[in-house]
Amino acid sequence: MSFTSSSAGQARVWWETAGEGTPVILINGLSSPSAVWFRLVPMLAGRHQVLTFDNPGTGRTRFEGDSFSMEMLAEAAADVLHAAGGAKAHVLGMSMGGLIAQQLTLTRPELVSSLTLVSTHAGSPHMTQDQSSLEAISRAQQMSSEDRTGYLADLTYARATRAEREADLAVRAQYPTCEEGYSSQLAATMGWERLEDLRTLTCPALVLHGAQDQLVSVANARQLSEYIPRARLTVLEECGHQVFSDQPVTGAHTLLDFFAEVEAAA
């Protein structure tokens, strides 16, 4: 584990690496610390060097400044890739991390060998979603980290997921996101969109989504797969927003198969 300096609001970005092989970088969602990847990392690390980090404003990456943009968040991810050696990586972004991954792939394509978008969308102006979930995300700004995490959990897990949900909440509680960090990350997502630019992407892409996702409708995944030229859409049944908690083994195998195909074709 280490810190790397970043232009993202003068943040010192906390990151760590596990395993060896082709790099994979995992980009977290809104207010999620990198510790939430605890199930997925061991399943990928047998074949890949897995990079995880805390976004500015979350966990061990403190944010120094008044606000930040999606461009800054993407640059923080690029800084982690450079700190890890600068090799091309499989870039995976989940939820808000999917927006960061899109921005990173569009602006720094030399760092990306493939793009995976999980439980995400093409930016709030294009988001297809029930208004109540958007209101819930906004309402959570006024809550403590503990209350916010439990409140949003009702929207983010499949109905059958129980023990995994409790384990996740315990991990999140160890690395809380302050109100300012949550609000700054949320503000960075508002108005951001690069939908038409997605048509210019040339790297292979996987769009992975849960059929029961209440926070981000699966219709958003279909939109992404229509705009990205080389995208493959995979929808997992009995799965909500938290793909790697609701369906951890299936989710990991889907990733490993995709990464292997990309590397075999390179």
What pLDDT was estimated at residue 233?
Answer: 98
Q: Which of 11-15, 19-23, 123-127, 168-172 has the highest mean pLDDT?
A: 19-23
Write down the mean pLDDT value for the chain.
90
What pLDDT was estimated at residue 64?
Answer: 65
Mean pLDDT of 46-68: 87
What pLDDT was estimated at residue 161?
Answer: 87
What pLDDT was estimated at residue 191?
Answer: 85
- In sequence order, the 6+-apart residues with CB closer than 8 A to the CB of 12 are 3, 4, 5, 6, 61, 62
What count of other Cβ atoms lies within 10 Å of the Cβ of residue 60? 17
Residues 147-179 have pLDDT tens digits of: 777 777 777 888 888 889 889 989 988 988 877
What pLDDT was estimated at residue 129?
Answer: 65
What pLDDT was estimated at residue 80?
Answer: 96
Counting Cα atoms < 13 Å in the Cβ hemisphere of 221 gives 28
What pLDDT was estimated at residue 203?
Answer: 98
DSSP 71: H
Alpha-carbon distance of 78 to 262, in angstroms, equals: 21
What pLDDT was estimated at residue 198?
Answer: 98
Residues 209-266 have pLDDT tens digits of: 999 998 899 999 999 999 999 999 999 999 999 999 999 999 999 999 999 999 999 8
Q: Considering only CA atoms, which of 31, 29, 25, 32 is closest in space to residue 4?
A: 25
Cα radius of gyration rounded to whole Å, the chain: 17
Higher-confidence residue of 65 and 88: namely: 88
What pLDDT was estimated at residue 219?
Answer: 94
Where do the structural domains in the chain lie, given as residue ranges?
Answer: 2-265
Q: Which CATH superfamily is domain 2-265 in?
A: Alpha/Beta hydrolase fold, catalytic domain (3.40.50.1820)
Q: Please state, for a pLDDT cut of 70, what percent of the chain lies above it.
A: 90
This prediction's pTM: 0.92
